[in-house]
Structure 1
Amino acid sequence: MLERNLMDRGKNMCRKKAIELKEPCNCRKKCYEVVNEEQRKKLFEDFYSLSRGSQDQDLAETIKETEEGRKRIQTTKRRFNEKSQVCQTMYLHTFDLAMKKLRVIVKKNRDSESITCPIDGQGQHCKHKRIEQVIIFENVPQRNNITPEKKSQYRKIFNEEFNLSFHTLANVTCTKRDRFKLSLKALEEKQLIEEQNNQKLKLLTKREHLDFAEAVYKIKSLDKERSKKDLTFVGRNLKEIHHRFMEPDHSHMEADTIHAASEIAKKKTIAKVEVSQDWNNCTVRKRQDGMEISFPNPITLEALPTADIKVSNLSDLLPYISE
């Protein structure tokens, strides 16, 4: 960001450090004794006085690719004193090179059939078409008598004089698509509101149903206690009869337990129930399919004789039947 601001102000900035001779290595071969500081400086100056292709050729001649696992050499000097062997760090620091440069040179020597190093192909392309933005503002300093050092000056010219603006294009949609999208959104919101209202109504209905069943059961319990104390009589001149009905499935009658147990016993048995005696056989404690059916309190069943079942004359009941 700092370099960008310096460039906009027209000031000098350093994009890359200058090439310089680095410090020698500190390896066990003592390369700094093999090649002293004066020799390194002379090699450095001679190397960068060559052209780029000559530099690659010089590197290709002075680099030797060796295999791993070689024997240790006691002395660092050769017999005829023509070459001095130094470590990789010393070589790179002497010429201020990167490791990638050496890898490229070694690969070129390995792939090339000739002795000389192939010419570097960088920068050999044709010049690309390029438009300098400075041309647009070449007359700005002379016209306004100011130095172009800030972005705000160029921005003011673009916005006020050239009337130029740049923005991202918006996605254009058709009218029918927008209309369908809005209608679907409204329909979804309406359905959501209806579902919420239905859910609330169900909860309210359920609460009212349970409250009503509980109230009827309490009234039934009060009537049961009142029947134990009040006098009971039969008369033919009754004008009103208050008959209370329990809420379905919430009656809690004493006979419901007996009836439910009888129905369960009937489902568990294989025999058919055709006469009243068959019910007696089902409800008495009996094992069927390894399951014992029993009641908390003993139940005594008394069969009603057929002779005791009489049909009353319907004419006697007519005065008690309302029109």
Structure 2
Amino acid sequence: MKTALTIASAILVSSLSSFAGGEGWMHDIEAAKKKAAAENKDLFIDFTGSDWCGWCIKLNEEVFQHDPFKKGIADDFILVELDYPRDKSKLSKETIAQNEMLREKYQIQGYPTILLTDADGRPYAKTGYQKGGPESYVKHLGELQKSKEARDVAFKKAMTLDGVEKAMGLYAGLKEVPEDYQRLYSKVIEDIIENDPEDKTGLKAAKATRDAKIELEKQLQTAMSGGDSAKAITLIDTYVTEQKLDGEAKQEALTYKLNILFGNKDFEALEKAVDEVIAVDPESKMGKQMASFKNTRLKQLKAQAEKK
């Protein structure tokens, strides 16, 4: 019996072990989800780089280590730390694999990224470093929780409706979620599509556009891995044409070219691509940013290249 208790204690310590976040943080996402469900709480998921990310370290030292933060979130959240350190010697192979899977699932691009999710792991808010200390951070989280409240009110009301009205109600709740994470509400999306065969919500069309963008990014990665920049450029042009993009959506898609051409140091082609983005809408935010880039940084890059 004593041996069994010792093993159980070791398992508990393993799931609650303190790395950068300190005591009280879990590292096993499935265990955290079960705990959150049992205690009727949400998940506070910290994607961090504990031994290299300056803003992560700053957030930990200024906020996470302090009692006002720990006490302020205790009734609402289970803390989860997902670490991506350069020194992985303290992480098990299982933890490394889990963290990589979650980074891909939630499409984490920078650190620290903080996701607030329900007990099922569905995000309803995203944040990161915030200055002001622990009290201010807790207040900030309270504001973000309002998105979940609005989401749940809309979802609950929708379940009393039928057909298109139900779809509209569910879609109203889904729109309370950051657009990047709506795709993780698969059951809600299926319910909307089923009850909205004529796509009055526009969700089906939006999903098709999003899926096409994901497929483009996969194809671009394959093309660039093979060193085929020309094919990558063609894929982008085909995507813009087939999706009939215009405005900011077209400008965003065309910026994929900039990354490719910049990496190739093909500054003449890069300038043409920049002009292409600007021509879509010179007065848009993206258009103005590209014009500024062309007249400053790109001009410098071309001058440096000519000297070589």
Larger radius of gyration: 1
More helix by share: 2
**Is the TM-score greater than 0.5?**
no
Q: TM-score, normalised by structure 2?
A: 0.22
